[in-house]
Amino acid sequence: MRRSLPEGREFEDLLSHLASIVSKAELGAIQLNRLRAGVTEAIYWYGSSQFTSDLVAKTTLHKVAKSLARVIEALRDEGNEHPLLMALGQTPEQSTVDLARGIERLQAVIADLEKIAAIPPERRPRGRTENRDLHHLVHRLANLWLVVSGTSFTQMWANDGAATNGAAFIEAVVTFVDPQNLKALPKMAERVVKERRSGKVMP
């Protein structure tokens, strides 16, 4: 999975390959610029989205929400005020206790914990559980195909891979950005074509 902006020889080879899929004749400067910008944006978006999804999956703050609320409640309990101020009010040399310092630090701790407790839980999208990032990527590439080729996006697949230029176009990009998802690509491309025919076109 690529998260940085695509560049280098490998990316230039991909662009050349995509250009040859779009047209047997050499593409003009405007089409090439659109191709480069569109593929760069799609690949960077896909990598960033995958990275964000991974972070959401690893978030564990929801597991300590109830415990955190109990900690804040205990810190606000007047019965705990004296030992807390004694602990937090110690000077750096730990030779004396500054009550004003203790009050300030206690209020700061409570305020920070309340900020953490207020972080909303990450919500995973409802509905279909298929690879949403791949779904969006194929829609983006279908839009790009229409822009650079001037023809509608179509897809057909054979045992050895793509059987139409549109399918070969998205296959080349997915091979570059996330080859582990190639097996899911034919069904996803079929789904996207059906959606586009029914008027559902993602930006």
> Does the predicted model carry a pTM greater than 0.85?
no
- Same-domain status, 136 and 190: yes
Does residue 1 lie in a domain region? no
Does residue 160 lie in a domain region? yes
- Same-domain status, 182 and 158: yes
**Which pLDDT belongs to residue 126?**
54
Does residue 83 lie in a domain region? yes
pLDDT one-digit tens code per residue, 164-182? 999 999 999 999 988 988 9
- Same-domain status, 55 and 65: no
- Same-domain status, 38 and 138: yes
Q: Which of 98, 117, 136 is the last residue of a domain?
A: 117
Domain assignment of residue 17, given as a range? 9-59+128-197
Does residue 82 lie in a domain region? yes
What are the start-end ranges of the H helices in the chain? Answer: 9-22, 29-58, 65-76, 81-88, 99-117, 132-149, 165-177, 185-197
- Same-domain status, 132 and 192: yes
Strand 157-158 to strand 161-162: parallel, antiparallel, or no bridges (unpaired)?
antiparallel
- Same-domain status, 89 and 49: no
pLDDT one-digit tens code per residue, 15-56? 999 999 998 777 888 888 999 999 999 888 887 766 555 555
Does residue 138 lie in a domain region? yes
- Same-domain status, 50 and 76: no
- Same-domain status, 46 and 86: no
Percent of the chain with pLDDT over 90: 42
Residue 118's closest CA among 62, 195, 60, 161?
62
Indicate the number of domains in the chain.
2
